[in-house]
Amino acid sequence: MPDFTLQELMIVAGARQIRDHEVVFVGMRLPLLAFCLAKSMHAPAAVGVFEAGIVRETPAPELLYTMSDPANITGASWCTALQNVMALLCAGRVDLGFIGGAQVDRFGNVNTSYIGDPSRPSIKLPGSGGACDIASFAGRTVIIMEHSRRRLVERVDYVTSPGHGPDAHWRSRMGLPGGGPRAIITTQAVLEFEAETGEAVLASIHPGCDHASVRTSTGWPLRNGPSVHETPPPSARELEVIRRYDPKGLWSR
């Protein structure tokens, strides 16, 4: 049996998307721990932005249950209004943003609004929050979600947060300044987006999963990327950092 959890593997995959000196719109749960891990490992100069209006150059010393926990405020570089951190997006100051959703399609469009016909939806979801702003303006985005056919769909029921639209050139036609989605980290694999087509293709498969399972759980004919490999497992040091920040495994187990 592996000595790490699926959540820990996804956290590590998310952390590896963060580069040093980048400004990262963090989010909660797995992205939060991915930011803590990246800061401790390979991106010590990365800066975290939280939708609650908080900017940090160091991770909070305690595990966060919400963005506005006192631990996230103490020692922050900037505690300000929501509109000010969202303005960082509009000004092109955010390099990477993490988002999630109920559905994502082959071009990285995300739905957090409705399931079914929007005029008579079978399920009403929470809506955008700040995800549409992140998807529109961040230099690139990473989507983290469960891998299943009901979530990875051919076409989302409603585009809450834009990915690459219907093709790789749609964003430039619409005047969206952000670079769009670069990866989808799921419970089975990592998908990356082709620059030429804007379509998500298989980049790596998590340990214990296989091609057949990944394809069966994907709602479109998933193509292989240029070099499909096994997702590298967490190192002992990466697990040590994750478990230091989340000792009870609230988000990571």
Catalytic annotation, residues: 51
Locus of tokens 């980290």: 185
DSSP string, 74-132: TT-SEE--HHHHHHHHHTT---EEEE--SEEETT--EE-SEES-TTS-SEE----TTHH
Q: Where are the beta strands (DSSP E) in the chain?
A: 23-25, 47-50, 54-56, 78-79, 96-99, 103-105, 110-111, 114-115, 123-124, 140-144, 152-153, 181-185, 189-193, 200-205, 224-230
Q: How far apart are CA 180 and CA 140, in angstroms?
A: 5
Q: Are 237 and 41 in contact (CB under 8 A)?
A: yes
Task: Read off the amino acid at residue 49.
Answer: V
Q: Which two tokens stand for residue 8?
A: 């820990």
